[in-house]
Amino acid sequence: MTTLTVPPAVRVTGVRHRFGDTIAVDGVDFDVASGMVFGLLGPNGAGKTTTLRMITTLLPAPPGTIEVFGLDVARHKLAVRRLIGYVPQRLSADGALTGWENVALFARLYDVPRTRRRQVVDSALESVGLADVAGRTASTYSGGMIRRLELAQALVNAPRLLMLDEPTIGLDPIARTSVWERILEVRADTGMTVLVTTHYMDEADQYCDRIALMHRGRIRAMGTPAELKASVDPDATLDDVFRAITGDELRSSPGERMRDVRATRRTAHRLG
């Protein structure tokens, strides 16, 4: 009898990446099962954004080290890009275009057929509560609205894997909840996999099925939030887990670059 093995949504094997002399990712291994919400946690410079960018094909990965639904990202970039939706850390909607045009651009880039495009774009905007302001240029949107617009852009091709880099950084608690609710709704509807990086331990605890805790380019702990907390103390929080693993270290990691910090601050400032 032949056994069919379903490839994980993401398989990362021994991934390393350096920027000049700085080792940003230092031998990372993890699998993300299909349909899961997987969180990469860690401080600035932990290597989580670099890992995410390698999975998205933005940074090069050696052949055989990263697979998305069984496709090697080094060999099948275009095929992999077809399967993913990506929300970068920085606010990336084009302020010179309207909300509708921003989403329609991505519908075209993902080859949503012309006959269905208007309906798909309208539906994506409706689902993030931006249908009423779709005709306004994105430069007039608030930070929370831009994040929801980006979510609509990332979801317009119904991605099998949604990757979000610090999606709620700088958002107020109501906007954070609204973004997460939308992500979880789509996951419940479609079964898509979600890979998210975040600084927020409470958010990871509440929304992630499984967490990898990164520090200085390495995964220091991995498991469900409950498993990670139980490994430290029955009453521990994820903050306690993080402190226990990193030794409560407040020094910046060597991979933390000025540009990254500046970008994070700029995003937080724009979200205001």
Partner 1 sequence: MSEQLAVPLTGWGRPTPLSLLRLVVSRITTMSLVEVQKLRHDRTELFTRAIQPALWLIIFGETFTRLRAIPTGHIPYIDYLAPGIIAQSALFIAIFYGIQVIWERDAGVLAKLMVTPTPRIALVTGKAFAASIRALIQALVVLILAALLGVALTDNPIKLLGMAALVSLGSCFFCCLSITIAGLALTHDRLMGIGQAITMPLFFGSSALYPINLMPGWLRAFNLVNPLGYEVDGLRGLLIGTPAQLGLDFGVLALASVFMISVASALLVRLAR
Contacting residues toward partner 1, per CB under 8 A: 53, 56-59, 71, 75-76, 78-79, 81-84, 86-94, 96-98, 101, 105-106, 108-111, 120, 123-124, 126-127, 137, 150, 153, 155, 157-160, 186, 189-192, 263
Least distance in Å: CB of 3 to partner 1? 23
Taking the complex as a whole, the smallest distance from the CB of residue 104 to partner 1 amounts, in Å, to 9
Assign 3-state DSSP to the chain and report helix, strand, coil percentages, each to 5. 40, 20, 35
Sheet holding 10-19, edge to edge: 22-32, 10-19, 66-68, 71-72
Q: Which is nearer to partner 1, 96 or 184 (CB)?
A: 96
Residue 120 Cβ vs partner 1, minimum distance, rounded to whole Å: 8
Query: Cα 107 vs. chain centroid, distance in angstroms?
Result: 20
DSSP 265: H
**What is the three-class DSSP state of 134?**
coil
Cα three-residue angle 170-180-211, rounded to 5 degrees: 90
Return the DSSP state at 133.
G
Residue-wise burial string across 33-59, b where 16 or more C-beta atoms lie within 10 A, e elsewhere: eeebbbbbbbbbbbbbbbbbbbbbbeb
Residue with smaller CB distance to partner 1, 78 or 226: 78
Rounded to whole angstroms, the Cα distance separating 74 from 57 reads 7
- In this complex, which beta carbon is closest to partner 1, that of residue 239 or of residue 265? 265
Integer Cα distance of 99 and 171 in angstroms: 19
Name the minimum Å distance from CB 71 to partner 1.
7
Q: Please say which residue, 134 or 221, places its beta carbon nearer to partner 1.
A: 134
Tell me if 150 sits within 8 A of 158, measured CB to CB.
no
For partner 1, the closer CB: 189 or 239:
189
Nearest distance from C-beta of residue 228 to partner 1, angstroms: 29
Shortest distance in whole angstroms from residue 153 CB to partner 1: 7
The amino acid that residue 76 corresponds to is: H
Other Cβ atoms less than 10 A from the Cβ of 131: the count is: 16
Return the residue matching tokens 């937080």.
268
Spatial separation of the C-alpha atoms in residues 220 and 40, rounded to whole Å: 11
Which of 70, 254 has the CB closer to partner 1?
70
Q: Least distance to partner 1 from the beta carbon of 46, Å?
A: 18
Considering the complex, state which of residue 46 and residue 228 has its C-beta at the smaller distance from partner 1. 46
